[in-house]
Structure formats: structure tokens, C-alpha cells
Chain A
């Protein structure tokens, strides 16, 4: 109270530009709504933003008890030890220890060939949307799909792996719906809405095992695709569409495998794979029921 009275006497002309702290008494006090039965805690803080407007910041956190800590007496003593070594210069900002943002489950082993179980706990609405085929979220940093975009990657500080495969269940994410082209990539006629997909328009050898690769970089050619795909099995034909005028790749190509299983493997492993500077889209050349 005395401080407030003293502050009234300060001449406003002498206040520093960023001395908003002096006016804090004008703000309502911050409120902490303690953890409720779901562990949700809300902290409401009032402050002034850069324009001098009163702003209310609500931080909602979920407080989870990580483990029942039943510590022995000596363990409790050890908890009081001061930090030493490199931990001395640790401040609250250093994020050495953080809880993973994703839920990791003990995955049951699956017989080879059967599809992976969908994690039951992905209540994240964004993840659900991508599983519906509407949006294909690919993070370039960790190569993971359907969870977050690159700017939201929890593994931001890791060196982006130059070669990442993302394995996704072969059947649960069918070819993306026609409404959702990735990054404005070319959508071939068979993939567009209302297209005729009988597959008769493709007269190629092994067209049962034909895989379409899109979002290729402009200098990708047949030998590159062959090298990338041959590790999955014998390849009977590769083709990359090239613009005759400029000589650049039109960004898509086809790979025909001798064996269908190899094609299936290639699709599940290479879709979303970062190749050259782009994320590949790999799918069946014509939609295939599994």
C-alpha cells in the first residue's frame, strides 16, 4: 500500500519507456485454479502487453503424478543434495529433461505381414483427422507422420535425419482422399474427385504391382528411382515423367515390381520418406483394395 502511494508521486514524464512494472498495481491479482480431479490446473496472470493494453494470460496445464515416489529416508536426504558438476550452471530454461509428448505403448509383437495396431490412445484430434485421410501431416525433422508439423516437432533440436523411413500400416491409411493433395502436387486424372478408376487406362507390364511416386525433385531420374526401390525386391520397370521442353522431371514416376509384396513393402516404407529435398508420396498406381 505504501509502495502504491509512493508510486503516485512519480512524475509520469520520468518513467522509463518499459517501466510497465510500476503500474502492476492496476492489474487484478493472478489466480491459480488448483488441479481438479482430472489434474487440470489453470493459472491466470494479468499483465500489460507492448501497447499498454491489459492482457489476461491463461495457462492450462495438466498435472500428472508420474510415479508413486516412496523414498527411503536416505533417498529423501539425497533429494536435498546440491547440484554439482555441469548441473551447477543449469537454469530453468535448459531443457535437458522433458516428458515425451507422445504416448509410448508396450506394443504387442505382430506376426509378419499383419498390420500394426492403431495406438488406442491417440486422442489427439489432429492425429485422428490425418488418419481419416483428409490431411497428411509430415514432419520433416523426425519424419513422423500424422502427429505434428515440422514447426511443432518435439524433436526440433535433433539433427534432421537425412534418411528417414516412416512405416505406416498398409491398409489403415489408404491413398489420400482426392481432396487433399500434398503441397499442391500434381493430382493425376485417376486420383481426382469423380474420376474413373477402373484402371484400364494403364497398359503396363505387371500393372498389378505398379507403384506411383510423386513429389520427386526436378533432377530425379529413372536410375535414382531404381536404386531407391530395388532394395525391396526385383523391379521390372521404372519410369519418370520428364518435361520435354525443360528436361526437368515433372515430379512423378512409376515403379513396377515383380512381386506384389515388395511393392506393398516399398509403399509402407517409402511414403513420407525424405528424398533429395522433398518428401516422397508413394502409393499404388491405381487404388487397390487390400
Chain B
């Protein structure tokens, strides 16, 4: 396949998100300006100007009308997707890190970092339909997590909030009371910072990527560990294919740790694993620096990756990808079959 290269950001990418229809791709980077692109040909549609710090994550409402972004400038902002106009700014006492709309787009969960005297928090805000009614009030504030919270997402039916971060533990909280419901097992869970978290399309399971060079698949309701995918590099970004049994991992050494190795042009790759068999299917190379963001298009026919090099690479799958997966599964069935027969 011939990826489309999009160089709209001057600084490393931090996050990528498709809208629900899969025709728009939103990219966030350390350069303060989230950008929106057309997902079929990579043409840039526009940028959202207003943040004064690195933008860590974003989310878009189901009707693609509103965009919410979280930034190190201690705000989370609501934007009108079509015009780039800033609609509202939530102020915090610390850099805002993770943001996600709830089902129905009437709530959003935002996390803030530990900063000076402030502990990390998870906050839930109401999102008003009419922007004039929008207030800064928090519906719920959860404290009590020690390390930085890299990702906080809604659980099924908005009943729970799932958090993951520096302390390598995944926690499930009640979204109304803020009570801690479940915690991931320390032994079988991640051993280092969890950098990323992504839900399956039906939210029944989710994948976490960690600097301990693995990614793990969990059940959303019971927090049971289902699968583990092992790789050789710290994982910065993960995603689950919406249509096939595939997950993708991206990572690479932190730019600071690279001394003499691995600066070979275009060597950093996004690795594809069979979701159920846990085996690596293949890798797609091309980035000049570690991959920080990954996202599958909701139609499962393409994916994009964002790197430390400031590039977004948009790949439309060709028949290779689908064939390799099928071949893989067929081989395994034959292998298992020989066991049974013998």
C-alpha cells in the first residue's frame, strides 16, 4: 500500500482520533494546534487555534459537531468542528491530559496531571447542548490515584469510568458515586506505565499498551485479563480493529534514549497482532521516530499512525493485509487439526 504522508504538525504527534463516520481524522500534537483531515485522501480541512500548550488527547461527538481537546496549558476546550471556533474552555489547576465524550455526548471525562501541589484528578463535566448554558462545574471529581493518569474512558452505558496510567494499574470507578469498583491484578497486569488505552468498537473489551513492552486485552466489565501481546519495544499507542480480529501496537524508544541505534530511516513500525492468537501478523514500517498515536478507521479498511517525527501516515489496506490474516488462521487450524488426529 502507499501511505499518505501528512506533515501538518511541527512537533511530535500525541493522539489520533477518527469521527464516527470515519471520514474525518483529528490529530493532536505537542505543537498546540489540533488539526482535522479528510480521512480518505489526507487533505487538511482545518486547524483549531487557541491552546497554549501541547495537546494530549481529543474526542469528537457522534454527530461530528463538537471537538473536545485536553492540553498542557491547563485547559480543556470545546470547539465547533466545522469552523474551528472555540466554544468553551474548562480551566484546571494542572495540565489536562485525557478527555473523552460519554455516550450521548452530554458528559465528558477529563483527567489532570499531578502538578506542584495538586494530585491527579479525574473529573466529569456536563456538556450542554446549547453552548450558552455551558458551565465549568464538575459533576464528579475522583482523586486518590497516585501516578499520572494517562487515559480515562467511559465504560459501557456510561456506568463506569476506567483509568490507567503511571502506576501500571487499571481501575474501574462508579461514574455516579466515584467509588472504586475494581483494580487490575498486580501480578498479571502491566509492570510499567500504561501509556495508552483503546476500546473495542462495542466496548466489551479494551487494550492497554505499556512501557513494559507489552499490550494486554481486558474485559470491560470484569477486568479479567484476556490476552497479552509481547513486543520488543515500549508501547506508546494501541488500537483494536473494528472489523477484524487484529490489534495494532506502536512504540519505539523515547527520543532521548536513542544513542547510536535505530535511527535508520523509516524503521519504526506499527505491529499488527492477531487478537486471539496473540501472534504477530506483520509490521508496517515508515516512521522516522517512535510511533505515539494509532487509530483504525471505523470501517476497518484503513488506519493511521502518528509519530515523534511529526508525520501522520494514513494507510489504506490492500488485499495483503486481509490475506495474511486468513492464511494465518488457516495454518493454525491445520496445525491444531494434526494434533487432534494424532
Enumerate chain A interface residues (CB-CB to B < 8 A).
64, 66-69, 71-72, 74-75, 78-79, 81, 83-88, 90, 96-100, 102-109, 142-144, 155, 157-158, 161, 163-167, 228, 231
Contact = CB atoms under 8 A, between A and B. Distances in A.
A106 B272 contact: yes
Contacts of A96: 6-8, 44
A231 B259 CA distance: 11
B82 A78 contact: yes
Given A78-B82, A81-B82, A109 B46 contact: no
Contact of A104 (B41, B45, B272, B315): B315
B180 interface: no
Closest 3 pairs between A and B when the two form their complex, measured CB to CB: A85-B47, A84-B46, A75-B23
Interface in B227-286: 260-267, 269, 272, 280-286
Contact of B288 (A100, A106, A161): A161
B68 interface: no
Contacts, number: 150
Nearest to B42: A97
A68 B82 CA distance: 24
Contact of A75 (B1, B4, B21, B49): B21
Interface stretch (B129-137, B157-165, B185-193, B316-324): B316-324
Contacts of A228: 260
B45 A161 contact: no
A78 B321 CA distance: 29
Contact of B4 (A97, A106, A108, A165): A97
B224 to A, nearest CB: 28
A108 B265 contact: no
A164 B282 CA distance: 23
Contacts of A74: 21, 63-64
Contact of A97 (B33, B41, B302): B41
B4 A84 contact: no
B316 A142 contact: no
B303 to A, nearest CB: 11
